[in-house]
Structure 1
Amino acid sequence: MLMSKKNNDSNEHSGIGFRGDIQGLRAIAVLAVMIFHANSSWLPAGFIGVDIFFVISGYIISSVLLKEGKALSWSQFYWARVKRIIPVYLVMLSLVCVVSALLLTPVDFSFFKSSLRSALLFVSNQYYAGFGDYFAPGAHELPLLHTWSLAIEMQFYLFLPIIIYYVPRQFLALLLGVLSIAFFTYAEVKLGAADNQRHVYFSLLARVPEFLVGALITVSGVGRSWSPRLSFVVGVMGAALLLFSLVFIDEKNFPGFSSSLPCIAVGMIIASRRGVVNNLLALPLLVTIGALSYSLYLWHWPVLAFMRYYLGQDKLPIVWICSFVLLTYLLAWASYRWVETPLRSRLVKIRRWVVLSAITACMIAISLILNPMIEKPLPREMTRYSPPDQICHGRIIGDCLRGDHEQSQPVLIIGDSHAAQLNEFFDVAGVLGKFSARVITASNCVPIAEFDVERIPDFSRADCRAQIAALKGYIDNAKVIVIAAMWQWHVPSKDFMAALADFLDTAAQRDVKVIVLAQVPMFNTNLVRVKRFAALGLPVSITENSEWAGANQKVSELANRYRGVQFLDFSRSEFFRDAPFVQGQLIYMDDSHLNELGARQYGLFAVPFLKAALAATSE
């Protein structure tokens, strides 16, 4: 993104002269993004800082193109974009790749490699639009997530020059205005479609009108002949609208028509050119931050992502926030001083580019070799809870049966991934206990009627709805149903608790026996990651999560209200006495899910209790 300019940058190639207020807008944009990413409650709509950058980019690039006119050199235009964006971008990717190779577990590093490939090709927005895996690192732990905006900007540069170069000047403003309205409308319509918000958020077409607003300011020449009084009024109104946007816009309904508000606000400030708002934005401190804004943007997110990955939590303690600010500034200043500025010069020699490219390639290659060398890889059965292509998790595969297949009338097992982790459990317990179990599950979802699907991550919703539909016939014919879930995730939802109560009530009326399994103990840190951190010599600690036991209690109280419903709780049993270990072996694959080894051992432990519970249901 064109976020960074030197303090004395005259916006060469743009023909608009140096404007300190635009540098100040860049500072506001990057600070808003950094504050939002550090803690979203501090600035609820700080994410619109990216949209501020898009408007500024549209304004600057269209100024370049209009200045050159028919004399435009396509090679020089794109070479200028490359010099501004690529050098520090490659340095960031190289360093992030090395840190990822050291810090990330092999499974997590496999996700990183895919994101790195998309970042190098500037298609990150498409990659993250389709990204969704329950056991992938969380979004706040993906070190290259922020590259989606760079991808959109580079893609936008492919067609804006064509529009401005080939469309007659007298029709250009009208065309850009019509296209802006059309694409804002497109984003709003797409946003209204079910489970589509994430795809719209990362969509080039949904972001195009933000660039076009900036381009429209340039092409129309609005503001150039305004009086000082009118410039003052428009600038103040633009600042007020921008402040409103930063506080009140809801990310869940963004982009779309709501994204037009900050774009119009930024357009008003750019158009006003002079006045108290523009003078404030041109203050030296903001101009200095604006000069560093591109480097600040590139470095801030990986720093936060790695901190969160190591700590295993989204909200960072204040000492880590302070470290984040300091480290981000130092990295940004260094990259701006020694990479961004030198390689942007017209006099830079080609050998510097060759050296930079070679260093980047070598660091990436070394990282790919380094990651599996940090520690001996864990056996596969300790990194997953069951072969993903053999279980009915999010889809139906075969008959979904576990345990003793010769037994008729299988027990129906439903729930989210905390039920899916019991596939191996019911294989062992079913064979020894002489019963069969049909296990049908979905990520983040307890597939029962009236489940509040809209609450869960959008990548889980389609599978959740599919499993709810698939289970209807099985539930109608079941005599015994077992429900397992990560209760601490679901209990806070009043809608879910109401749906669960309705389900249990209906089962009681139909004389269907229901066994509700307690959630297994949960921890504050991914336990496989802790093992890697220890191998690196980093300080580690294992602490139990404080919420799961209370959630178990609430579900137990609900279950006890209904006839024929039994709450079965092994979470405080002898089996979990030394959790996350059993006889010195790690039985968890992350902070809350058992691995295959743990699930089998858990099944061996639970057999007599399950046999007793099932025998009671048949009486």
Structure 2
Amino acid sequence: MRHARNIRFDIQGLRAIAVLAVMLYHANNGWLKAGYVGVDIFFVISGFIITALLTERSDKVDLVSFYASRVKRILPAYFVMLVVVCALSAFMFVPDDFAFFLDSLKSSALFTSNQYFSGFGSYFAPRADELPLLHTWSLAIEMQFYLFFPVLVIFLPKQWRLTAFALLAASLFAWSGYRGLGESQDRMYFALSARVPEFMVGAIVALLMRQRELPMLLASVFGGLGAILLAWAVLAIDKQHFPGFWSILPCVAAGLLIAARRGPVSALLATRPMVWIGGISYSLYLWHWPVLAFIRYYTGQYELTAAWLPIFVASSVLLGWLSYRLVETPARNASGMMRQVPKWVVAGTVVVLVAWGGQRINASLVAPLPVELTRYAAPELICHGTQVGACKRGKADAEVSVLVIGDSHAAQLNYFFDQVGEEQGVAYRVLTASSCVPIPGFDFERLPAWAQKPCRAQIEAVAGELPKVERVIIAGMWQYQMQSQAFAKAFAEFLVDTAGAHKHVVVLAQIPMFETDVQRVRRFTEIGLPAPLRFNHEWQTANQQVQAIVDRTPGVRFLDFSNSSFFAAAPYQQGLLIYRDSHHLNEVGASRYGHYAAEQLQRALDQPQPNVSLKP
């Protein structure tokens, strides 16, 4: 299981299992339900390796040698990846997305990205699967662990280490499991405290197996049991309950496989292909996620097509191998730490210069659009997730007579209702929240953590305003909302109750949606990348589902402009871009839409006719 440089081939094979599991999960989370536990396997391996480095060679801990080895192991390939990803992001990303990227770059360079991504939340930020540095959270946790663990080893007497590590692992597993019962799993997932016990499992194995080798039969049993537990972990664990108590399973599995060292499973792990993949696993991990993120940013699709899947695999492996051969290996073999200092200074300077130059390159490649074409409203001037003044739109000197509620597809209509109000002499109160239709019974638990509190606040605000008006307009991204049966039930009940209170209710259909962000398509086209714009047709089915609910509710009207002449040339209208992304109108589009729909919307609100679906 060893070669001339004293590297355990079976552990290299376990690294291969870890990185392949992560890649499968990241490529499509339906392919391997819990492939993300590959990261936990890496943490166990790291705990084993660094404990061996700190304790096996002598009783005295050599901190300088330890940190030098960690710096040479992690930083060179890591900072090369940051530089290349920053340059590509400056080239491809629209300015708003590049601003988010720069924030993540700063945290990644400082190894605090686990904290950054745990609190990351903005409706108009790129999706998580489009963030090219999201995977750096695990490296941040690893570096943070390296800061305190050697100190812990130094101050603990040799005979106390095993007991202390076991107690630390047990208490932190219990703590993270308890916190996971009531705290957002997003925060726990990125928390150092939830990952320290995973390192401790590896540390315990290192201390227990120091200068020991299990009998072949016992080693074979350990290997087989570890393999079974690991297979169970990657196939059965539910991410909603992870890390917490469930993280014990893959960690114990990895610990058993490391302890086994011999036997059929260890021999399988030590085969040449597994060892080769394990050898480049660090660089492969560094590069596979940015490749995926850029593909998804460019295509606007989460699932890789048959054409993009081989590109992802080939690019990831090639970049991982080049990084291993040209960066990792030379850096590891470099001698004389002090002689390397100038190189580290140059590397850090390059990262800073690329980030600084990237901002200028990003802004200069494509002429910026006027702000009214890139947003649907100034966020500080609308009641989207918060209260801003009276939340009044439309005719300034009219009394509010209509309440407008919904998610961002209602928030995008603030300028729409200004236009309609001016033409019809009506004032509206618009209360919205990201991804949330603020009605009683809305299942806000399914929203990201950052969106839940604003959603609850707007539900309360709507409950206070509803008795004051006789007319209600509801708009939403039905394509998203109707995926929830709980929402469909709450929505149907709200319509019945509101119409039963003798209020006039109009439900607006979702506007057409595209596969890709129209602002991105514009940028790709300007910089010479082919970027076809295709409709996403799921919104049509969702509109039909909402219409079915409306049609069986007396007194409620469904108003559908999605197939009207206004959207015939979408995302343009009379030659002007009216969308801000793949499914929201910009300020100009909202105003023009209001002018187009004003008369028919007012007629739908005014006429006390039986429920009917209106399709202009």
TM-score (norm 2): 0.96
Which amino acid in 2 is paired with 1:406? D
Is 1:98 paired with 2:87?
Answer: yes
The 1-side partners of 2:343 and 2:366 are apart by: 36
Which amino acid in 1 is paired with 2:290? P
Give 1:218 deviation, angstroms. Answer: 1.3
The 2-side partners of 1:156 and 1:9 are apart by: 29
Is 1:401 paired with 2:389?
Answer: no
1:20–1:390 Cα change, 3 Å: same
* Contact in 1 for aligned 2:102/2:355 (Cα 8 Å): no
Query: Which residue does 2:614 correspond to in 1?
Result: none
Query: Which residue does 1:455 correspond to in 2?
Result: 446
Is 1:305 paired with 2:293?
Answer: yes
Query: Which residue does 1:247 correspond to in 2?
Result: 235
* Contact in 2 for aligned 1:52/1:262 (Cα 8 Å): yes
Alignment of 1:25-104 (within 5 A): 25-68=14-57, 71-104=60-93
The 2-side partners of 1:610 and 1:301 are apart by: 46
Alignment of 1:579-594 (within 5 A): 579-594=570-585
Which amino acid in 2 is paired with 1:408? E
Which amino acid in 2 is paired with 1:469? E
Give 1:359 deviation, angstroms. Answer: 3.6
CA displacement 1:198-256 (0-9 Å, x = unmatched): 00110110111100110111123389353211111111001110011111111111101
The 1-side partners of 2:289 and 2:598 are apart by: 47
Which amino acid in 2 is paired with 1:423? N
Which amino acid in 1 is paired with 2:85? V
CA displacement 1:446-495 (0-9 Å, x = unmatched): 11111111222332122111211222111233311100001111112211
Is 1:146 paired with 2:146?
Answer: no
Is 1:603 paired with 2:594?
Answer: yes
Query: Which residue does 2:209 correspond to in 1?
Result: 221
* Contact in 2 for aligned 1:222/1:271 (Cα 8 Å): no
Give 1:617 deviation, angstroms. Answer: 4.7
Query: Which residue does 2:10 correspond to in 1?
Result: 21
Is 1:133 paired with 2:122?
Answer: yes
* Contact in 2 for aligned 1:232/1:272 (Cα 8 Å): yes
Give 1:156 deviation, angstroms. Answer: 0.5
Query: Which residue does 2:175 correspond to in 1?
Result: 186
Which amino acid in 1 is paired with 2:500? Q
The 2-side partners of 1:137 and 1:223 are apart by: 50
Alignment of 1:390-429 (within 5 A): 390-429=381-420
* Contact in 2 for aligned 1:226/1:272 (Cα 8 Å): yes
* Contact in 1 for aligned 2:555/2:609 (Cα 8 Å): no
SS in 1 for 2:307: helix
* Contact in 2 for aligned 1:224/1:271 (Cα 8 Å): no
Give 1:25 deviation, angstroms. Answer: 0.5
CA displacement 1:523-561 (0-9 Å, x = unmatched): 111000000000111111111111111211111121121
Q: Which has the higher mean CA deviation after the structures are superposed, 184-193 or 311-320?
A: 184-193
SS in 1 for 2:534: coil
The 1-side partners of 2:383 and 2:312 are apart by: 42
Which amino acid in 2 is paired with 1:603? G
The 2-side partners of 1:95 and 1:466 are apart by: 42
Which amino acid in 2 is paired with 1:96? V
Structure 2: stretches of 5+ with no match in the other structure: 611-616
* Contact in 2 for aligned 1:223/1:271 (Cα 8 Å): no
Give 1:68 deviation, angstroms. Answer: 4.9
CA displacement 1:403-454 (0-9 Å, x = unmatched): 1132224310000000000111111111221111100111111111111112
Is 1:499 paired with 2:503?
Answer: no
The 1-side partners of 2:213 and 2:363 are apart by: 63
Give 1:40 deviation, angstroms. Answer: 1.4
Is 1:524 paired with 2:515?
Answer: yes
Alignment of 1:465-476 (within 5 A): 465-476=456-467
The 2-side partners of 1:104 and 1:477 are apart by: 45
* Contact in 1 for aligned 2:220/2:263 (Cα 8 Å): yes
Query: Which residue does 1:235 correspond to in 2?
Result: 223
2:534 aligned to 535, 540, 543, which one? 543
Which amino acid in 1 is paired with 2:192? L
The 1-side partners of 2:390 and 2:488 are apart by: 29
Which amino acid in 1 is paired with 2:14? L
The 2-side partners of 1:54 and 1:289 are apart by: 18
Which amino acid in 1 is paired with 2:569? D
Give 1:346 deviation, angstroms. Answer: 4.0
2:546 aligned to 539, 545, 555, which one? 555
Query: Which residue does 1:14 correspond to in 2?
Result: none
Q: Which has the higher mean CA deviation after the structures are superposed, 405-414 or 75-84?
A: 405-414
CA displacement 1:579-619 (0-9 Å, x = unmatched): 11011111000000000110011111111112212222599
Which amino acid in 2 is paired with 1:143? P
The 2-side partners of 1:257 and 1:223 are apart by: 31
Is 1:344 paired with 2:335?
Answer: no
Alignment of 1:257-336 (within 5 A): 257-336=245-324
* Contact in 1 for aligned 2:478/2:539 (Cα 8 Å): yes
Which amino acid in 2 is paired with 1:255? P
Query: Which residue does 1:122 correspond to in 2?
Result: 111
* Contact in 2 for aligned 1:65/1:165 (Cα 8 Å): no
1:511–1:302 Cα change, 3 Å: same
Give 1:512 deviation, angstroms. Answer: 1.5
The 2-side partners of 1:223 and 1:315 are apart by: 48
The 2-side partners of 1:61 and 1:541 are apart by: 50
SS in 2 for 1:162: helix
Q: Which has the higher mean CA deviation after the structures are superposed, 286-295 or 173-182?
A: 173-182
Query: Which residue does 2:613 correspond to in 1?
Result: none
SS in 1 for 2:132: coil
* Contact in 2 for aligned 1:403/1:431 (Cα 8 Å): yes
The 2-side partners of 1:421 and 1:541 are apart by: 25
Give 1:355 deviation, angstroms. Answer: 4.2
The 1-side partners of 2:473 and 2:237 are apart by: 42
Give 1:70 deviation, angstroms. Answer: 5.1
Structure 1: stretches of 5+ with no match in the other structure: 1-6, 11-16
The count of aligned residue pairs is: 607
SS in 2 for 1:158: helix
Give 1:397 deviation, angstroms. Answer: 1.4
The 2-side partners of 1:188 and 1:26 are apart by: 26
CA displacement 1:232-285 (0-9 Å, x = unmatched): 111100111001111111111110110100000000111112111111111111
SS in 2 for 1:516: strand
SS in 1 for 2:535: coil
1:9–1:388 Cα change, 3 Å: farther
The 2-side partners of 1:9 and 1:418 are apart by: 63
The 2-side partners of 1:618 and 1:557 are apart by: 18
The 2-side partners of 1:346 and 1:542 are apart by: 49
* Contact in 2 for aligned 1:235/1:277 (Cα 8 Å): yes
Give 1:343 deviation, angstroms. Answer: 1.2
